Amino acid sequence: MKLPISIITTYGMMSFLRYHLKPQTQESREKLLELSGLKSVVPLDCYLGLAGLPFKITPCAMLKIAFWAQNQLSYQRAEEAIYEIMKIKINDDTVRAVTDFVGNVIFERDCRKADESMQKLNNGSLSFPKDRDGVLYIQTDGAALNTRSKDEGGSTWRENKLGEVFSSKNIRYWTDHKGNRQHQILEKEYISYIGSVSEFKKHLFALALRSGYGHYKETVILSDGATWIRNMAEELFPDAQQILDYFHLCENVNTFAKHLFKMDEQKFKPWAKKVCDKLKNSGFREVLSELEKIDRVPNNSPVNLFGYITNNINNIDYVAYEKKGYFIGSGAIESGNKLILQDRLKRAGMRWNPKTAQSILTLKSKAESKIWTGDVEIPFLAHCFCRSAHV
């Protein structure tokens, strides 16, 4: 309650209202009186909503700290930014700890929502409208992250799996001064997960549902052709058209050609260009026929081009895809990997605790998806309110 208080100052008598915070129960009031003789004091942490939280920092301040931690190149840079902007001195270790806490709260919430989405799929409780329009694009890729712990094989490298979803309704097209058609994706959403495919697929499916999967006439999945992505897509999105990224295919063609012609540029470059042109024009059967006549894996080549094309033969009809207006390159997910993983977590000398990395990747994905307010701030404040209310 507010009570009037008057004090004498050098400017004379001043009156103002002051909060008197009283213990909530009779027992606590009696205990307080017994210990100190005071009747109108309660722990300030409870009043400010800090009770039950791991830091003496308000939830709003924790959110700002976490935002700058994922936004800057390092926790040290975040420490500097927080001081410059908020005029709060907080060391980089505390910045990391606060960010871990916020990120873990949001990640656990995402895990619950991912499980709920998979339950809907497994229970057959999903329903979609009959009248549908547009194209939903789903892209996914994996990239290595150096950690401070070893896996069963003794490696410190873990794969971060990144998913990205956007729709044809959120793409702006224009023609540049050279007459080339350009485009810009106006809205997209990312999810990032360090762990198994069996868990990542839940998060990807939840993301697809949030983005409107089932409400679009067509679904297109673009990837580099990795087996785990192809199998996951067939399981979750059986109605989707998978497309092998054309530029990734050409990279493999060039790698194969270098080994086939023993790094002779005058031979491998024109051969690779000819093969890529044939594939761009949906001449994959002709390419396979040619590959059958030569050594399929020459000179210890890391690429089995015949097997790579065969495994993705239903996903490389580029002429048909371009007629439908589909993208045939997964540049969006490649730039997403750079934006979310590499720029923040793969700087020189960086090694990560997997849980810490997951926390900051979760927050980074939300920020770059431009859903920070709805998917970080509101859920986190609700979490803190519930936690304090139970103390």
- Per-residue pLDDT tens over the stretch 218-265: 999 999 999 999 999 999 999 999 999 999 999 999 999 999 998 999
Confidence of residue 12 (pLDDT cuts 50, 70, 90): confident
- 269 and 294 share a domain? yes
Q: 69: closest CA among 41, 95, 40?
A: 95
Q: Does the structure show a pLDDT above 90 at 206?
A: yes
| Residue bearing tokens 């002051």 | 18
Q: 306: closest CA among 317, 318, 319, 290?
A: 290
Kindly state the greatest CA–CA separation across the chain.
Answer: 102
Q: What is the distance between the terminal CA atoms of the chain, rounded to a whole angstrom?
A: 21
- Helix, coil or strand: residue 137: strand
- 382 and 285 share a domain? no
- 222 and 192 share a domain? yes
pLDDT at 57: 85
- 295 and 257 share a domain? yes
- 115 and 209 share a domain? no
- 37 and 185 share a domain? no
Confidence of residue 316 (pLDDT cuts 50, 70, 90): very high
Q: Does the structure show a pLDDT above 90 at 211?
A: yes
* Overall average pLDDT of the 265-286 stretch: 96
pLDDT digits (tens, 9 = 90+) for 29-73: 565 455 545 444 555 666 565 666 777 788 999 999 999 999 999
- 170 and 207 share a domain? yes
Q: Does the structure show a pLDDT above 90 at 301?
A: no
User: What is the pairing mode between strands 157-167 and 189-194?
Assistant: antiparallel
- Helix, coil or strand: residue 60: helix
As a residue count, the chain comes to 391
pLDDT at 55: 79
DSSP 352-367: B-HHHHHHHHHHHHHH
Query: What are the residues whose beta carbons fall under 8 Å from the beta carbon of 234, sequence distance 6 or more?
Result: 242
pLDDT at 44: 60
- 118 and 134 share a domain? no
Q: 215: closest CA among 171, 164, 168?
A: 168
User: The whole model's pTM is what?
Assistant: 0.85
At 142, which helix (H) or strand (E)?
strand 135-146
pLDDT at 385: 78
Both tokens assigned to 45: 């942490």
Confidence of residue 295 (pLDDT cuts 50, 70, 90): low
As a whole-number percent, the residues of the chain with pLDDT over 70 amount to 87
Lowest mean pLDDT among 8-12, 293-297, 332-336: 293-297
pLDDT at 286: 95
Q: Counting Cβ atoms within 10 Å, is residue 186 exposed (0-12), middle (13-18) or buried (19+)?
A: exposed
pLDDT at 125: 87
- 199 and 272 share a domain? yes
Amino acid occupying residue 220: V
Residue 45 contacts residue 58 (beta carbons within 8 Å): no
Q: Residue 230: count other Cβ atoms within 10 Å of its Cβ.
A: 19
* Overall average pLDDT of the 264-279 stretch: 96
Q: Dihedrals φ, ψ of 204, to 5°?
A: -65, -40
CA distance linking residue 64 with residue 84, whole number of Å: 13
- 188 and 233 share a domain? yes
- 207 and 348 share a domain? yes
Average pLDDT of the chain is: 89
pLDDT at 294: 83
Residue 282 contacts residue 210 (beta carbons within 8 Å): no
* Overall average pLDDT of the 209-216 stretch: 94
Lowest mean pLDDT among 126-130, 205-209, 322-326, 349-353: 126-130
Confidence of residue 192 (pLDDT cuts 50, 70, 90): very high
pLDDT at 285: 94
- 26 and 113 share a domain? no
pLDDT at 97: 96
pLDDT digits (tens, 9 = 90+) for 99-157: 999 999 999 999 999 999 999 999 988 888 888 999 999 999 999 999 999 888 899 99
pLDDT at 337: 93
Total of domains in the chain: 3
Segments forming the whole domain that contains residue 27:
1-42
pLDDT at 184: 93
> Of residues 281 and 300, which shows the higher confidence score?
281
* Overall average pLDDT of the 175-186 stretch: 90
